[in-house]
Chains A and B, each alone.
Chain A
C-alpha cells in the first residue's frame, strides 16, 4: 500500500516537473535565444555576491540560502561548482546564478551543460562534431535540438526511472536541465519587458506615467483594478457602453500581459509571507503574487515592495552602485520577514558550511595523511615519521565531524537521514574506530587505513553528490519525520555498515599482504590484523543486530509489522547473518586466521549490497532511499573484490597443498587457530 503511495507521489512529482515547464516552453519555443546585447559585463563585486549568497529562498520545500540553490543547480548542469565565461572569467555558483538571472543572453552562451554521452544528443539531432566527450555545451548550442529533446522527455516521463535505458535517462536529464535553466533565465523576463498600458481615461487615472509602470505598481492597485472590473462588468460605471467595453478590454489586456510574463517567474520563491509559518508555510514567487492579486486574495504590501525591488534590480543591472543599494534594501526586508517567521537563523550557517569547503579540505588532509603513512613505511622504526600521520588523520576526522555536526544543527536532525549522509557518517565512524584501534595497538596499519578510508569515503561522497546533483539536505518524507528513530535505528545500523567495511579494509591488508609476501616472516603482524578484524566484526555485530531489530520495532510502530522482508530490511539482516556465521565458524574452529580475513572481505561485499545494492532493485517500502547511476561503481567494486577473493582462495589452496605450512598439519581437522577458539578446544 505504501509502495503505491510513494510511487504515486514520485510519478506525480515527475509529471509536475514536466508540466511546470510547459508555460515557459511555449515562450521559449517561439524563437531562438536572443543574441547578447553586450559581450561582457562588469564583474560582480564581493558585497553583491555576499548579499545574494545569504538571501533566503524557499526551494524543494525548505528555506535555504540562494547560494545553496545556485550550487546544486550548477553542479547538476555543469558537473562542478564553477563555470567559465567566454571571456575566461571563472564564476562561483552565485555569480553564475546572477548572470543567469540578470544577463541571461550571456549565460546562454556559457558552455556549462555536461552531456554524459552523445546518444542523447544524437536522439535530439544536436550536432557535436569537433567536440570531445568531456566538452560542455552552451544553451545556445543545445537549442537546435530542444524541441525534439523535450518531446522525447515528455514521452519518457510516463516511464518509471528504473525502467529507462541509460540513453533514455540521459535524454530526460538533459531536457530537465535545459528546462530548469530556462526557468532561471526567464525568471525576470517580466521585469525586462515593459508593460504596455493601454491608452484610456481609466488607465490614465490608474497609471499617470504609463511608460514607467512596473508589475509591482499594477499589483499594488490590484484591488482597485478588480473593483473597476467588477463595476464595469455589472454595468455600474457612469460611462457609455462603448467606453465600458473598451475599458474592460484594456483591463483584460493588462491582465493578459501580467499572466504571460509573470507566470514564468515561478522558480524562485524569494518573498516570505508576512504571517507565521503555521498560517502560511509557502513563500511566494512573482507568479504567485500575480495569481493572488487577481484571484481576490489580499496581495501583501511587503511582498509587492520586494517585487518592485526585484524589478529595479533588473533595470539597474549595469549600474553596480545603484544595484548594490537596491539589493541591500531588498535583502534587509527579506531577512527581516524570514527572521520574524523563524526561518532565517540557520541561513548564514549553511552559507558558511558550503563556503568553508570543509569536506574538500578533509579529503585533502586524508590524502596527505595516507601519503605520510606510506612514507613512514620507508623508515618503520622512526617514531616521528610514525606519529606524523596522526596530524593528518585527526584534523581530517575533525573537519568531517564538523560538517556532520553543522548539518545536524542546520536541519535539526540526527546525523543520518539520507543516503548521502550515510556516506559521511560511515566514513567518519570508520576513521574514528580505526584511530581507536591504532591507539590501542600502534601498528600503523589502522592509522594508514583511517586515512585511506577517509579519502575513499569522501571521494565517494563527492561522486555521489555529483551524480545526484540535488540538495543533500532535502526535506524528509512523512514516515521519516521522527528524530527518535532516525537517531537510534538509522545511526546504529549505519555504524554496523561502517564496522563491516572497516573489517573488510583491514582484511584486505592481510590478504594482499600475504599475496605479495609483505612481512612474510612476521606472524605476529598477521595475528594482530586478524585480531583487529575479529574485534571489528564483533563491534559490527552489536550495532548491526541492535540497529536491525530497532528498524523492525520502528516498522512495527509505523507500518504495523515488525518484519516485512523488504529489501532494505533484508540487506541489514544479511549483514547480521553473515557476521553470526563467521563468529560461530570462528568459535567452532572452522574459520582460522586466513578464513577470518577472507570472510571479512566477503562481508564487505554484503555491506555494499545492503547499503547501495538493494536500492538498485527498485522494489520495497524504502522507496525514499532509491537511487540510480551507482550500478557501474558497484559493479567495479564487486569485480575487484571477487578478484581479491579468488587470489586469496588460490593462495590458501596452494598452501594447503604445500607440506611445510602449519595449515597442512591440521588438514581435515577443525582445530582452533587463535585464542578465541577455546570453545573448540573444550570439545
Chain B
C-alpha cells in the first residue's frame, strides 16, 4: 500500500507528468484557438477550456477524446504541489524555481477563483440616465413581478440553470406557494424569434395568439443569442390557463421591452425572461460620453464616459476611459462600447461598460511579480554558471 502511494506521489511529482500536461495544454490551446474560426469564443471556451473531458473531431471527422483544460489545470496544480514537496531540491541554488512555482500556483488559484466566484456582464446607459444593475453576458433568468402594486414589490426569480438546458420538447413546471399560479415552460430554444403564422406560413409548431417560435441558428457571438420559450400560467384556484411566448429581454439600447403579462383575477403579473441582472452597491449616472477620432479619419483616438457615482447619498464625478476603469466596492467598470455609431454631432449617445466583480482581480499581478522574481533569480544563476563553464572551457 505504502509502495502504491509512493509510486502515485512520485508519478504526480514527476517531470514526465508535467511535460505531458504542458503538451496537452498546448494542444488544447491550439485546437481552441483554431476552432474559434468556426465556433464562437463562448462555445469554444465551454468546450475546450472550461471542461473536464471533450471530444475533438480532427479534420472534422476523426473523434478523439481529450481531457479539458479545467481538468489539466487541476492536475497541474497537483503536479506542482507534489513536485514542490517531494522533488524540488532545497537550497539557495533552487530558490528561484521554488518562487516561480509558488507564483504559478497563485496564478492558477486566481483563475479558479475567477471562474467560480466572479460575475461579469455589461451596463448600457444613455447620457443622463442612471442604473444600479448590470446584466450578465450569457446567463438568463425568469423574473415574475406583480404590476400596479403600491409599496415594495417582491420579485420572484427562477434562475437560468433551471431551464436553459431544456430541449424544446421538454416541459418544466415551477411552483411557489406565494404565487397564485403555476408556471410551465416548454419549447425552449437557445436562440429564436417569434413569427406570425399566416396563410403563406405553415408550420407544425405550437402557436399562441397566431405566433410561434422560430428557432434560429446559434450565434458565434453568444451574447447575441436570445432564448425563447412558450409559457403557460395556470391559476391555482380556477385551473384556468393562459399561454404566451417569452422572448429574452435585454437592457441594451435598441431593444424594446418584451415581457409577457398574465392577468389573474384583478391582478396583472409580469413574466420577464431576461439576461440575469446583478445589483450594484452604487448607482451610476452617465453625464457625458466623449468620442474622439484621429483627425480626418474614422479611427477612434479615445472614448470616455464622464459618470457620477452615487452611494449613500454622496456623489462622486469619475471618468471611465480605455485603460482607466472605475474600481469600487469589488466591482470594476470598464469602457467597452458606445453608440449610436452613426450619431451626428450633439446627438444623445449611450455608453456601454463592461462590469466585473472578481475577488481575485489583482492576484495575477502579484503572481506575475512573484514569477518574474523567481525566473530572474533562477536564470541569472544559470547564466552565471554557464559563463563560468565557458570561461573554464576557453582557459
Task: State whether the Cβ of A482 lies closer than 8 Å to any Cβ in chain B.
Answer: yes
A207 located at the interface, meaning its Cβ lies under 8 Å from any Cβ of chain B in the complex: no
Contact B37 A478 (CB under 8 A): no
Cβ–Cβ contact A538 & B322, under 8 A = no
A620 to B298, CA, bound (A): 21
A676's nearest neighbour on chain B, judged by CB, is B382
Cα(A554)–Cα(B365), bound, Å: 10
Task: For A585, give the chain B residue with the smallest CB separation.
Answer: B19
A282 cross-chain contacts in B, Cβ below 8 A: 295-296
Scoring B residues 295 to 313 as 1 if CB is less than 8 Å from chain A, else 0, what string do you get? 1111111110000000000
Task: Point out which of A13, A588, A614, A675 has the most chain B C-beta atoms below 10 A from its C-beta.
Answer: A588
Partner pick for A585 among B15, B37, B371, B394, CB 8 A cutoff: B15
Chain B residue contacts of A59, Cβ below 8 A: 296
Q: In the complex, are the beta carbons of B336 and A1 less than 8 A apart?
A: yes
Structural contact, B299 and A475, CB atoms closer than 8 A: yes
Which residues of B from 350 to 395 have beta carbons under 8 Å from A? Answer: 352, 354-356, 361, 364-365, 367-368, 371-372, 375-376, 379, 382-383, 386-387, 389-390, 394
Residue from A13, A281, A565 in contact with B44 in the complex, judged by beta carbons closer than 8 Å: A565
Known contacts A9-B298, A535-B383, A562-B110: A581-B390 contact under CB 8 Å? no
A window 521-539: CB within 8 A of B = 531, 535, 538-539
Whether A556 and B120, one on each chain, are in contact in the complex, defined by CB atoms closer than 8 angstroms, is no
Q: Which residues of A contact B221 (CB under 8 A)?
A: 3-4
Q: Which A residues are in CB contact (< 8 Å) with B376?
A: 542
- Proximity bits, A584-620, B CB within 8 Å = 1, else 0: 1101111000000000000000100100001001111
Q: Does B29 contact A (CB under 8 A)?
A: yes
Bound together, the chains give a CA A348 to CA B114 distance in angstroms of 51
Beyond A542-B379, A577-B29, whether A549 also contacts B364 by CB under 8 A is yes
- Nearest CB to that of A9 among chain B residues? B298
Using CB atoms, name the residue of chain B closest to A567. Answer: B33
Contact-residue bracket for chain B: 35 or more
Q: Is A560's beta carbon under 8 Å from chain B?
A: yes
- A58 in contact with B223 (CB, 8 Å): no
Contact at A541–B375, with CB atoms within 8 Å?
yes
Q: Is the CB of B322 within 8 A of A581?
A: no
Is B249 an interface residue when CB atoms closer than 8 A count as contact? no
CB distance from A476 to the nearest CB of B (A): 8
| B-side contacts of A571, CB under 8 Å | 33
> Is the Cβ of A61 less than 8 Å from the Cβ of B23?
no
Most buried by A among B221, B298, B356: B298
Least Cβ–Cβ distance between A49 and chain B, in angstroms: 26
Residue from the set B36, B89, B371, B387 with the largest chain A CB neighbour count within 10 Å = B36
Contact between chains at B297 and A60 (CB < 8 Å): yes
Which A residues are CB-close (under 8 A) to B58? none
A587 close to B29 (CB less than 8 A) = no
Most buried by B among A564, A619, A679: A619
Of all chain B residues, which has the CB nearest A441?
A: B390
State how many angstroms separate the Cβ of A546 from the closest Cβ of chain B: 5
Contact yes or no, B22 A581, CB < 8 A: yes
Q: Are A61 and B341 in contact (CB under 8 A)?
A: no
Contact call B295/A617, Cβ cutoff below 8 A: no
CB proximity of A3 to chain B, nearest CB, Å: 8
CA distance in complex: A577, B334 (Å) = 30
State the Cβ distance, A123 to closest chain B Cβ, in Å: 27
Let me know if B160 is at the binding interface, CB within 8 A: no
**Are A9 and B300 interface neighbours, CB within 8 A?**
yes
Q: Are A479 and B29 in contact (CB under 8 A)?
A: no
Contacts A58-B295, A549-B368, A553-B365; A584 near B18 (Cβ below 8 A): yes
Question: Closest residue to A479 on the B side, CB-wise?
Answer: B322
Say whether A62 faces chain B, with CB atoms less than 8 Å apart: yes
| Residue ID in chain A nearest B322 by CB atoms | A478
Residue B67 is within 8 A (CB to CB) of chain A in the complex: no
Where chain B touches its partner, the secondary structure class is: helix
B187 at the interface (CB under 8 A from A): no
Contacts of B41 in A (CB 8 A): 564-566, 619
A574→B29 contact, CB < 8 A: yes
B37 touches A618 (CB 8 A): yes
| B146 vs chain A, min Cβ distance (A) | 34
A588 to B83, CA, bound (A): 12
> Which of B44, B122, B322, B382 is packed against the most chain A CB atoms within 10 Å?
B322
Asked whether any CB of chain B lies closer than 8 Å to the CB of A12, the reply is yes
A588-B302 in contact given A546-B372, A574-B26, A620-B36 (Cβ < 8 Å) = no
Contact A590 B394 (CB under 8 A): no
With A475-B299, A541-B375, A571-B33 in contact, do A588 and B364 touch (Cβ < 8 Å)?
Answer: no
Minimum CB–CB distance for A577 against chain B, Å: 4
Q: Looking across the interface, which residue of chain B has its beta carbon closest to that of A609?
A: B30
Return the chain B residue nearest A485 by Cβ. B323
A3-B367 Cα distance, complex, nearest whole Å: 28
Q: Could you tell me the distance in whole angstroms from the C-beta of B28 to the nearest C-beta in chain A?
A: 10
Tell me if B49 counts as interface (CB < 8 A to partner A). Answer: yes
List B contacts of A556 (CB < 8 A).
361, 364
**Chain A residue with the shortest CB-CB distance to B100:** A545
Please measure, in the bound complex, the distance between the C-alpha atom of A578 and the C-alpha atom of B22, giving whole angstroms.
Answer: 7
A5 in contact with B337 (CB, 8 Å): yes
Complex Cα distance, B294 from A62, in Å, reads 8
**Which B residues between 93 and 135 are near A, CB-CB below 8 angstroms?**
107, 110-111, 114, 120, 122
Per the 8 Å Cβ criterion, residues 278-324 of B in contact with A are 293-303, 322-323
Q: List chain A residues, Cβ under 8 A from B120.
A: 560-561
Say yes or no: A16 contacts B19, CB within 8 Å. Answer: no
Which residue on B lies nearest to A6, using beta carbons?
B300
Residues from chain A with a CB closer than 8 A to the CB of B382 are: 535, 538
With CB as the reference atom, state the residue of chain B lying closest to A552: B364
Residues of B within 8 A of A550 (CB): 368
Question: Is A655 at the interface (CB under 8 A from chain B)?
Answer: no
Query: How near does chain B come to A418, taking the closest CB pair, in angstroms?
Result: 13
Task: Verify if B145 is at the interface (C-beta below 8 Å from A).
Answer: no
What distance in Å separates the Cβ of B379 from its nearest Cβ neighbour in chain A? 5
A661-683 to B contact mask, C-beta < 8 Å, 1/0 = 00000000010000100011010
B contact set with A: CB distance below 8 Å: 14-16, 18-19, 22-23, 25-26, 29-30, 32-34, 36-37, 41, 44-45, 49, 87, 89, 107, 110-111, 114, 120, 122, 221, 223, 293-303, 322-323, 325, 332, 334, 336-337, 341, 352, 354-356, 361, 364-365, 367-368, 371-372, 375-376, 379, 382-383, 386-387, 389-390, 394
> What 17 additional pairs, Cβ within 8 angstroms, besides A535-B386, A562-B364?
A9-B299, A12-B341, A13-B298, A477-B300, A478-B300, A481-B323, A535-B383, A541-B379, A549-B371, A561-B120, A562-B111, A574-B30, A577-B29, A588-B15, A609-B30, A619-B41, A670-B16
Cβ contacts A to B, 24 pairs, < 8 Å? A4-B337, A5-B337, A12-B341, A13-B299, A61-B299, A282-B295, A475-B294, A538-B379, A541-B375, A542-B379, A552-B364, A558-B322, A559-B336, A560-B336, A562-B111, A565-B45, A566-B41, A570-B30, A577-B22, A577-B26, A578-B22, A584-B22, A585-B16, A590-B19
Which 8 pairs show the lowest CB-CB distances between chains A and B?
A61-B294, A588-B15, A581-B22, A282-B295, A549-B368, A560-B334, A61-B297, A560-B354
